[in-house]
């Protein structure tokens, strides 16, 4: 199945809102059929991995099989260590699926939802939309991953500018993107994306997880994903990534 944007989106209005606030939340971003297709696949057929931070905030990853083999005591130990560190340092824990890595390794079928999603967020339609609302015509690609936050998962304050870069990576993160596919979420469960003017700001702006919503914001900006409470009964599902420019990439389909 193809994934398509809502044809009723008003690009000019969205561009004005994003320019004013440096962040934007768009409801009904995809067609209803596309959104339900993505949501169903995230919930029912995605082989979730686990990632959490180490003492330095760097990722410790478990593939789907390793994640399944963790027993309750091992999970409790991970949580205890993370909670002690998170009191004063950047830390995180959530589930994910590395879409681009899986495609490169030949693990995803071309007709799978995750493969289709990778094509969609790098398509003429989506990158053209991103250029139109951001006004940044150097955007050439997005690197998506699937993410799932369940009870006990979190991502403390950060600004997306500090990340591990491979030796041949010349790209720059310009905008963070979160495509939300969370159905029937309670505000009491946490999991909000919160934005801050600076570390330890006394105020924040928080957006609840939602269904068929796109959140985009300029990098860098301080933000977090609030701790998901132990009594949350479902998950916060999304496709996330960064819109990038890259001097080694041209998009002739977009007039480059």
DSSP for 32-63, please give it: HHHHHHHHHHHHHT---EEEEE-TTS-EEEE-
- Separation of alpha carbons 36 and 32, rounded Å: 6
Q: Into how many domains does the chain fold?
A: 1
pLDDT value of residue 106? 97
Q: What is the mean pLDDT of each run of 10 residues along the chain (256 residues)?
A: 97 98 97 98 98 95 98 98 96 98 97 98 98 98 98 96 73 96 97 94 96 97 97 98 95 97
Is 100 part of any domain? Answer: no
Nearest to 144 by CA among 115, 112, 170, 168: 115
Instruction: Using a cut of 0.85, tell me whether the model's pTM lies above it.
Output: yes
How many other C-beta atoms can be found within 10 angstroms of the C-beta atom of residue 187? 10
Range of the domain at 149: 11-45+109-254
- Is there a domain that residue 51 lies in? no
CATH code at position 27: 2.60.120.620
Which residues 6+ apart lie within 8 Å of 55 measured at CB? 85
Give a yes or no: residue 239 inside a domain: yes
Q: What local confidence, expressed as pLDDT, does residue 169 receive?
A: 81
Pick left, alpha or beta for residue 8 (phi over 0 → left; psi -120 to 50 → alpha; otherwise beta). Answer: alpha
Which pLDDT value is given to residue 167?
63
Secondary structure (3-state) at 21:
helix
Neighbours of 212 (CB within 10 A): 22
Tokens of 74: 């091992």
């Amino acid at each position: 199945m193809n994934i398509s944007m809502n044809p009723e989106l008003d690009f000019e209005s969205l561009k004005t809102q994003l320019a004013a606030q440096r962040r934007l939340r768009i409801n009904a971003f995809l067609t209803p059929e596309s959104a339900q297709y993505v949501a169903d696949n995230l919930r029912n057929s995605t082989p979730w991995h686990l990632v959490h931070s180490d003492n330095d905030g760097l990722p410790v990853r478990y593939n789907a099989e390793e994640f399944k083999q963790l027993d309750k005591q091992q999970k409790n130990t991970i949580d205890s260590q993370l909670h002690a560190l998170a009191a004063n340092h950047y830390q995180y824990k959530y589930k994910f699926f590395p879409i681009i890595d899986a495609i490169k390794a030949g693990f995803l079928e071309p007709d799978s939802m995750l493969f289709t999603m990778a094509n969609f967020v790098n398509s003429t339609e989506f990158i053209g939309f991103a250029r139109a609302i951001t006004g940044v015509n150097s955007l050439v690609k997005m690197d998506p991953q699937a993410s799932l936050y369940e009870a006990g998962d979190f991502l403390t304050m950060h600004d997306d500018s500090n990340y591990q870069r491979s030796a041949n990576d010349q790209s720059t993160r310009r905008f963070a993107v979160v495509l939300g596919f969370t159905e029937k979420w309670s505000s009491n469960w946490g999991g909000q994306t919160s934005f801050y003017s600076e570390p330890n700001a006394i105020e924040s702006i928080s957006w609840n997880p939602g269904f068929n919503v796109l959140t985009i914001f300029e990098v860098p900006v301080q933000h977090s994903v609030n701790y998901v409470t132990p009594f949350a009964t479902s998950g916060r599902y999304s496709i996330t990534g960064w819109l990038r420019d890259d001097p080694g990439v041209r998009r002739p389909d977009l007039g480059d």
